[in-house]
Amino acid sequence: MATIDDVRAVAARLPGGEERTTIGGTSWFVRSKPFVWECRPWPSIPEPIRTVIATEQVIGVKVGDAIDAQALRQMYPRVFLSQTTRWGEPKVAFRLAEIGAEHLAELVVEAWRVQAPKYLVRAFDDQS
């Protein structure tokens, strides 16, 4: 079972990553672009999804495109929630308690890659 501290640990090793406390909870940014965030049960979220977010810890991440988001939702329907809101697309939200550590790390790094400038991605790849 993954925790918010696991998200924090992965995000902390990414160049240019910055953790911020926002009105919606904890979020991680690279060059002022969000790549990972805690989801909150905002009124704009459809009721069935809002109920899940209100009762479980749910994390949102940026993805490369809508096809990636759809694929994750179809491959792991118990883990990934259907669309939360249209703003910030493409993105996916997932139940933190249902995701493995390796998959979590992969999602956080890929979300960072989507938002990070190319020079930071190159620096990260050169380190790895």
CATH of the domain at 62: 3.90.1150.30
Residues facing residue 93 across a β-bridge:
60
Confirm whether pTM is higher than 0.85: yes
Reported as a single tens digit per residue, the pLDDT across 55-114 is 999 999 999 999 999 999 999 999 999 877 777 789 999 999 999 999 999 999 999 999
CA–CA dist 28, 19 (Å, integer)? 4
Domain-embedded: residue 109: yes
Residue 116: other Cβ atoms inside 10 A: 22
Domain-embedded: residue 46: yes
Angle (CA) 36-37-41 rounded to 5° is: 145
Residue 13: other Cβ atoms inside 10 A: 14
Domain-embedded: residue 19: yes
Domain interval for residue 46: 4-120
Q: What is the pLDDT of residue 82?
A: 87
Domain-embedded: residue 75: yes
Pairing of strands 58-62, 91-95: antiparallel
Reported as a single tens digit per residue, the pLDDT across 14-65 is 999 999 999 889 999 999 999 999 999 999 889 999 999 999 999 999 999 9
Instruction: Give the containing element (helix H, strand E) for 87.
Output: none
Domain-embedded: residue 127: no
Domains of the chain: total? 1
pLDDT tops 90 at residue 1: no
| 58-62, strands of its sheet edge to edge | 17-22, 25-30, 33-38, 58-62, 91-95
